[in-house]
Every structure is written in structure tokens, then in C-alpha cells.
Structure 1
Amino acid sequence: MQPVFRLAVAQAPADLNSPTDRLDWLRSILPDIANSGADLLLLPELFACGYNIGDAIRTRAEIADGPTFAAIADMAHEAGVAIHYGFAERSEDALYNAALCVSADRTVLCHQRKLVLPPGFEKAYFTPGRGCHLFEYHKLKIATLICYDAEFPETVRHVAQLGADLVLVPTALGSDWSWVAHTMIPTRAYENGVYLAYANSGGVENGSEFLGASVIAAPDGIEVARAGASATIIYGDIDKSRVAAAQKRLPYLKDGLTIDLS
């Protein structure tokens, strides 16, 4: 029998003022997450530095294996939980909206850069990433898409066709985009027969209000867990057999390849 994979999604407080405050908050929640039996913790977009921080993005950006990575890798090791977090990445002369996942043995499982930059401040600071790859952890195939990336049917379909069982989506969704979190994201899970986990912030950061509404959606579109507006932790058990069952019942991935649109 396939063992169940336990996922924790942290809806972090938006008003954590500094990178140190953010690491301290993460350190404070990890004992309870470890005690829950979680295998992996998903944190929001740009968790490590903050999202609505203006030009501070430049000064808070780090190389991928910088001090923030070292601190979070130590926390993952101590808690025995893989940690997936968003950060501003500095690489040569470019900045990227990026995400890393580090395992409990400090191995880098995933390093993903945001593919599509939405209208707004991100285009002034970041360079788009390229490509999307899966990683395997505890016998699950997992993909990462960052916020706006998951709003395109093509991106989620791409990683599903690569074999993803679970798609992790760190986000920074504002309070005026409720339809995305409540309707679009579960639809993406349903139309691809995969689990999709969506980690937002909760509260207000420098005048910008986040929606919250983090969710773990199952391959049949059913919500395994849903957060409200405030900071919280939600949990869901990821059962790979539900992916196979959903894709057998509705073979969108296979039948979509047979459509002749010429």
C-alpha cells in the first residue's frame, strides 16, 4: 500500500517586518508541524524577504545558497520536515522571483524561478525564469509553479503530463482576486487530475491586503483543506492512488493529445 504523504501549508502573517522576523516565525511553527507528522511544509511566494516591500527587494535578494538557505536548511534538518519557500534570488546581474525546497537532510530538492511576471511591480524588479522540472520526494512526483504561473492552463497541464502527482504553488494573491483562489485553483487540480497546494499570506503588508484562502485541492477538485483570511497552518494527506483514479476516470491528459484543431 502506498504510504500517505502529509503536507502542511503555512499561510504566513503578511506583516512580518524583516527577514529575521520571518525566520523567527518559521522557527516558532516548526515544532507543531513536525509533531503533526508532516513530510513537507509549503510557504508563500517571496516568504523569506516579503512581497510588497518596494526597493528593499534588491537589498534582501540573496544567492540561492545564501544565508537564508543555510538557516532554513538547518531548520528542516532539526524538524525532520522538508521546507519549500519563496525568496528573491540574486544571480549575477539579475533578480528572480524564486522558490527552493530543501529536504530534512539539507538536500536541495527543487529550485524554480517564476515563469510569467504579472502586471505590476514584479516586472520592474524580476527577470522571468525558464523551464519547469519535477522532483521526487517520498515516492511522489512534485512540481512547483509560482503564483501567476498556475493561472495558465498550459503550465499545470505541462507538469501534469510530465507525471506530477502534486503541484506546489507559493502565491501572494491580493484580496481582490478571490475567484482565483476559490474557483480557478481547484479547477486546475480537477482538469489535470493532480493535487494542487496553494500557499498565500494572510493580513496586510505595507498597505497591501492579501486574500489568504490557501487551499489543498484534490485531483477530483474537492478541497482537502481551506484557510480563512488570517495566518494559519492547514494540512492535507496526499494519496497517490487518488491521482491515478482521477486520471483514469477523466482521461483529460491522454485525450487532450488526440484533439485535432487544424
Structure 2
Amino acid sequence: MRIAVLQCPSPSGDAERAVSGARMALRAASAAGAGVLVLPEVFLPGYNCADPAAAAPDAALLEELHATALVAGCALVLGHAEREGDAVYNSASVLGTARARYHKVQLYGPRERALYTPGDAYCTFDLGGLRAALLICYDIEFAPHIKALADQGVQLILCPTANMMPFVHVPAHTVPAMAANHGLAIAYANYCGSEGNLTYTGGSLIAGPHGEVLAQAGQHPALLIADLPPRDPSRLSTQSLDLRTL
């Protein structure tokens, strides 16, 4: 499968800018032959907005983007705020050629814990012949979650993120190590630039199932495109099978 990852500045509450950017990236990803495009965390309305729930996308806008992704022939992974009754979630939706939705499990810091309700379930689905799953930002740093998904047969994790300074080690080291240790690919879509009091690390990447970095951005806007290599059974980690519980 060919994967696309968008790295860009946060829309910062500008829904028109966000939707326009998503459509433009979808057209480019589709023209490059990608089967899926991953956007950053809370792309609608923007990660560091004061009240993300107030500007969360409604069902009509999500269906509009779903239709756009269908026309493009490319699944879209969209990070967004989501209100469900009294709860507000940090969500990721798959639109277009696949449909799925996930709520972030590992909320980061006091701000996220004040804004959002944590999710309580994994989300796996079929994507272009691969078993795929969604995680969001901080989730990807917890090995037990990666192991749990790998044990379910997941081959690809799609991860919107808003990783900020000074945590440059996450895209540089943590994500490739998680891919290698659990024998699956990870597409990690981050912001670049600044938003309010946050400066994002950039460094979006696509890591293969043996930990190889197939494509990685610097600290500026980029559209990454990479083909996932076939998994070589002789190189896949056997940690999950070999783990001794003390």
C-alpha cells in the first residue's frame, strides 16, 4: 500500500482553511496513487484552540469530506474534536474508502484531561487488504497498546498527532522503535510551526514494519508519500511471543 502523511501548520480554528487544506492534500495524495492520507491531531478545529468542542465538525461536514475522499479514491484519516452527549472526545475518523472512528485513550497533560473524555476501546478495520488501526499522539508512546494491536493482527497504525517541543525524541526514536519492536508499520502525521503557546516538532514520518524510516519530514510543511514494503517474516520481531511475565 502507498501511504500519504500531511505535515502542516495547525488551522487554528479556521474551518475553511482546514477543509481546503484537506481537499488539496487529498487531490495530491490521490494523484500520487496513495490509498490513505493521514492528517494531524484535532485538525478540525485545530489542536490548541481554546474550546475545540465549540468548533467541532458536525455530521454534515464529515459526510462532505467522506464524499470528497470517495471521489479521490483515497481514505482520509481526520483528527477532530467530537461531542457525543455530555462527553467531548479527541477523535480520529476514517472517511472515504473505509469507515472507522476512534477516541484517544491516553490524554496528555492537564489541558487535555480538562477538555476531553478518554476513549476505552481500540479501533481496527480493513484498509486495502491490510488490518489497520487508529491511535492518536500520546497513545503511540505506550508499548502495551502497540502490543495489543499487534496481537490482534494489525499491520498498520495510522496516527494523527500534535507532538510539541521539547519532545523531539518521539518522531526521531520512539515511533520507529515501536514499529520495529512490534513488527508493524506506523504513519505519524504531526504539525509544524507554532500555535499559541505551543511549537510543534514536525518530524512526521512513515515507519516500516522493521523500523525503517521510509519517509520523514523536517520542521516545515510536507506531504510524505511512501510504499509499505512487504513484511519479511525472518526480520519481524518475536517479542510478543517471547515475553516472560515475572
Structure 2-normalised TM-score?
A: 0.95
Match of 1:86 among 73, 79, 84: 79
Match of 2:4 among 1, 8, 14: 8
Q: Is the 8 A contact 1:165 1:194 kept in 2?
A: yes
Residue 28 (structure 1) aligned with residue 17 (structure 2) = no
Amino acid at match of 2:28: D
> 1:11 deviation in Å?
0.7
> 1:177 deviation in Å?
0.6
Amino acid at match of 1:230: H
Amino acid at match of 1:82: A
Match of 1:142 among 120, 132, 141: 132
Q: Is the 8 A contact 1:12 1:200 kept in 2?
A: yes
In structure 1, the residue corresponding to 2:178 is in which secondary structure?
helix
Over the matched positions of the two proteins, sequence identity in percent amounts to 32
Superimposed CA distance per residue, residues 173-204 of structure 1 (whole angstroms, 9 cap, x where no aligned partner) = 00211011101111100110111111101111
In structure 1, the residue corresponding to 2:71 is in which secondary structure?
helix
In structure 2, the residue corresponding to 1:84 is in which secondary structure?
strand
Q: Is the 8 A contact 2:44 2:56 kept in 1?
A: no
Q: Is the 8 A contact 2:206 2:216 kept in 1?
A: yes
Q: Equivalents in 1 of 2:48, 2:161: separation in Å?
A: 13
Equivalent residue, structure 1, for 2:43: 47
- Give the RMSD, CA atoms, in angstroms: 1.5
> 1:139 deviation in Å?
0.8
Match of 1:19 among 15, 33, 43: 15
Q: Equivalents in 2 of 1:96, 1:197: separation in Å?
A: 21
Superimposed CA distance per residue, residues 98-144 of structure 1 (whole angstroms, 9 cap, x where no aligned partner) = 0000123xx52x21000011113111110000110311111100011
Match of 2:95 among 99, 102, 105: 102
Where do 5+ consecutive residues of structure 1 fail to align? none
> 1:54 deviation in Å?
0.9
In structure 2, the residue corresponding to 1:211 is in which secondary structure?
coil
Amino acid at match of 2:80: F
Superimposed CA distance per residue, residues 154-190 of structure 1 (whole angstroms, 9 cap, x where no aligned partner) = 0011101110111111100002110111011111001
Q: Equivalents in 1 of 2:42, 2:234: separation in Å?
A: 34
Q: Equivalents in 2 of 1:25, 1:91: separation in Å?
A: 26
Q: Is the 8 A contact 2:189 2:204 kept in 1?
A: yes
In structure 1, the residue corresponding to 2:102 is in which secondary structure?
strand
In structure 2, the residue corresponding to 1:212 is in which secondary structure?
coil
Equivalent residue, structure 1, for 2:204: 214
Equivalent residue, structure 1, for 2:33: 37
Q: Is the 8 A contact 2:201 2:219 kept in 1?
A: yes
Of 12-21 and 206-215, the range deviating more from structure 2: 12-21
Residue 159 (structure 1) aligned with residue 149 (structure 2) = yes
Structure 1 residues 60-209: aligned runs within 5 Å: 60-62=55-57, 66-104=59-97, 107-108=98-99, 110-209=100-199
> 1:62 deviation in Å?
4.2
Q: Is the 8 A contact 2:93 2:101 kept in 1?
A: yes
Q: Is the 8 A contact 2:11 2:43 kept in 1?
A: no
Q: Is the 8 A contact 2:159 2:188 kept in 1?
A: yes
Equivalent residue, structure 2, for 1:237: 227
Amino acid at match of 1:74: A
Moved over 6 A (4+): none
Structure 1-normalised TM-score?
A: 0.89
Q: Is the 8 A contact 1:191 1:252 kept in 2?
A: yes
Equivalent residue, structure 2, for 1:254: 241
